[in-house]
Structure 1
Amino acid sequence: MSTPRLAIVIVTAVLGVAVLAYAVPAIALAGDVPPDTKVAGVDIGGLSPDQARSRLEAELGPRAARPIEVRAAGKKTRLQAGELGLSVDAAATVAAAMDGASTPAGVFRSLFGSRELQPVVKVDEQALTGRIAKLAESVDREPREGVVSYQGLEPRTSPPKKGLALDRAAAAQAVRQAFLKDGGPLELTTKTLPPTVAAGEVRELATTTARTAVAADLTVTSGAKEAAITRAELAAGLRFTGEDGKLKPVFDAEQVVPGLEKKLVAASHLPRDATFKIVSGKPKVVPARDGKGIDVKGLGQAVAAAVAAGERTAEAPVKVTQARLTTEAAGRLGIKEKVSSYTTQHPCCAPRVTNIHTIAGIVDGYVVKPGETFSLNGVVGKRDTARGFVEAPMILNGRFVNDVGGGVSQFATTMFNAVFFGGFEDVQHMPHMYYISRYPAGRESTVSFPQPDFRWKNDSKYGVLIKTSFTSTSITVQFWSTKRYEVTSESSGRYNVKSFPSLSESGPKCQPMSGVEGFTIDVWRTFKKDGKVVRKQKFTTVYQPEPKLTCD
């Protein structure tokens, strides 16, 4: 045989052996997962696709069900794979394991090598993003800007505080990678959010601008008329807070508007709410009237701008104002019967009686709408001589002093009891420092301007009409609405009784004090409906000993 022919035979034989070496194992392995193939430690080599898929589901299922424990800002949370939208795609994992198995390289690897694969993880991006966002809500904390407010006329600072935010993209990536893996809590990355104004700037403003802002009254004008926001009123509504890198003044004008309107807007131009008059024991609607009034928000902005500019005058914006309660709305309020009434007594003819009658006249006929919170200071405003208030004794810093509007706490106490027995929600009341015998112990309230206020909420679905009346020795507050409850009161005995000290002082402003023991008392308010108790509420009041003060 010639040499060329011999070479051809040899090459053909070699190729035949190679083909057989590939074809025989390829045919033997066809349709199965290559031997010695593992997915996350689970051996699926040599199994059919269905068998491999079943084994993966059985072995990886419990691991996929394990919660992923994460920690962010020191707080641990367990996240379930299901709520994260993470799951093992067993079919796709088996397909990936068999991909290329029939190629020569795949056959060679099957015969002489092994593979360790990671499972194919299916991700519901919407679910993952939503759960990470919910986690962020429990972690994120907005930076707190520094604030300068007032205690009396003295500036007080609340320092700024850094905020915190979860890195949501990094958190989503981290929990993806932690899925199916063992390990301790996964530490998630957070970002620090700085406030816009540094603490040093807040402290500096408190000692400079904030003091200057309340150094004098601020004059408010409307046309040719003018009125004053006193230093105390200014301080009560003013604060400075960080915004866009600067400390800016903000003024809440709501408390001062009632008093200013009566001085800056003619009474004939003010809006008049619908109200009621009692005719033959039944409420009858008195129609409303639209008018003009001070724009509360606009006044707040004008005062803030004046403070920022260092000015002592601001223009009060006046706008057409609808009645707070229209005639039609009043007719739908369900005001049809007396639901509570309370009367307190007082000696005749003292200056404080003038103030009690004056505040009663202002509040008489006021209607509190369903869901509305009534503020005595908000409705009446600062007590002043222009509206008939006079100087009378009041308690200030533990001593009796004369002040315009002194004595109106008796009206607050009378209204508190109408609220109490009417079954309405007590929002803010402050008992007197000392026990006053003409009031029921534990069921009374003091009031001053701007604080403490007396506030209560009409938590019924009906309107409440406030009617007041008085004699020379008494004041009465009635509430008209639709009755919901029968309310009763029960009191404990007095306990923690403390004796009073005896003191002596001198000076023209000294006013003698008789001396009263201090004590603590509990009062329960019981709500009944159809004769059954539906709720009980407890009030605990602590009275300090009133000293026996002798004036030399």
Structure 2
Amino acid sequence: MNKHFTFGKHPLVAALMWVAIIYGLALAAYGATRWASAGEVMGRVEVEGVQLGGLDRELAIAEVVGVETELRSRMARFSLNGETVTLNPAEVAFDIDEEAVIEEAMRIGREGNAVSQFLWWLSHIFSSETVELRGSVDPDALDEIFDVWDTEVIASPAAHGAIVIVDGRPSPVYPQPGVGVDREVATAIILDTFLGGSSHNAALPTMPVIPALTENDIDLALDEARRMLSEPIRMTYDGLEAIFTPEQLTAAFRSDTVLDGTPRIVQSFDPEVIDGYLAPIRSLFEAEPVNAEFVIVGDDITIQPGKKGTRIDEEETALRLYQAGLTSSRLGRLPLVEDADPEITEEYLESLGIEHLVSSFTTYHACCQPRVNNIQLMADTIDMTILMPGEIFGINEFVGERTAEKGYLPAGTIVAGQLKDTVGGGVSQFATTFYNAVFWGGYEDIEHQPHSYYFRRYPEGIEATVNWRVPELKFRNNTDKAILIDTQYTDTSITVRIFGSNDGRIVKGEQIHGKTHIEVVSEGGPNALWVEGIVSSRFARKDPPEPKYVANPDLAEDQQVEVQGEREGWSVRVTRRILRGGVELVEEQEWLVTYFPQFAVIEVHPCKMPEPEVECESSTTTTEPPS
């Protein structure tokens, strides 16, 4: 029979095993907690009773902001010189440093080696650790509060010495010792109270205040003030003069007692008051900024740089008045400084890429007619207009309605087949000239309408008319650079030029004596756009209709006047191709242009009308139209 022997475990070994198991479980729990708390406040950490443990940085900051809001809402009370004073934390810009508080909270439990971190976690499973608040107040705002308390609560303030204006003259205030708030200690007490570390009604200490300035310091400042204000001060610039009277100088005088650093009296003139005296005279001295602009000479375009505006610097003027007031001449120089940049700078115009003349076209007319006034007025309105890449330009949209108030005159307009005077008439010649500059420049035709009747002063087929509001003439700047529209005229001609960038290619054209002339002035580089324009032969010809007779009682019975000649009608086909390096860039464009036949308009005596309503006085009458 086999026998098995067992040995009992020693109690100490069993206890150690249980301890090991417990610590193993604790380590596992600690590891899981550390992993879950990555980027969060560890364990049980609080501020002002608010738990931050388990919160990420953003949420923890939000909790601290909530604490700050609560603390800022509490009115603090203090004891000063036997009286109770109150202070609103918001008045002195009380602020908690949330970032510093959260940094401290995030460090807790993560400092030291792994063993110390584990032991901290173990010891704070059921207890919390408090993070102290850190905050600040605005020292300047608090100083203003202390000044009030010194004067109204302690009621024995020190006089540090000053220069004041009494009855229009500088007068001294000599130094006197007094009692005031111990500002350094009081500031610490107030901040600690705001942060919740001190009880309300904490006593604020006072201290004797001994002025740092002497009576001699005040006498020296008084002498300086009297010299500053004694007589007028003259300020000159470029032959012009501005005079500041003693009354004006006194109104602008400022004297400040400075205790920081070396105690002293600082005297000056207030720039804001001086600026008020400068306002009425600025236009005499200052210059507005001048914009940069394009300058066209012949067919060349350049940029004339702009200039900054100049203005009188009131700050520097106040300083120079102070300096001049201490001299025997009492004379200074007005400081004009470069101020505002022009709205349009040279750099901006360069960025537009307008480099050379691209296309131009000229048409001719008789001198001195009312329609010439209208053509030139429209040209002036459009002259030097800049179009950005992709921008659409329409003559009617840009110029607006042609009215007598704008200077337009009655001139010929085609109305129901007849030429009649309307205000602003005759501008179709400008439209045709404009259209040809666009056509031969290769720009995108958005909208145009040729004339109903043909006129020899216009290129056949390649022409356009406008009237208010229709027909309209529109085109698009379909290049990647800006373009500039330039207009020129003489008594007998109108020219439209377009400046832009077409790799140096320049095309110029004109319509003269009924013929169109197109000249390529410069072939340009390999990236230049080439425009081909072809007008077909006339087809679909139509004879003019019967004449139209108009009664004119001022004519003799045997007299007739042709006020409008007859014309035949026909059609042509216009084709435009745009190429670069021989390759067509856009689909070939084609327009069918039809000119209507036009009847003659003949004025006759009323008795010679085809259906007369009166009889002729002569013995011979006829119902037939006169030949």
Largest Rg, 1 or 2: 2
Tell me the TM-score normalized by structure 1: 0.42
Relative contact order: is structure 1 or structure 2 higher (C-alpha 8 Å, sep ≥ 6)? 1
Tell me the TM-score normalized by structure 2: 0.37
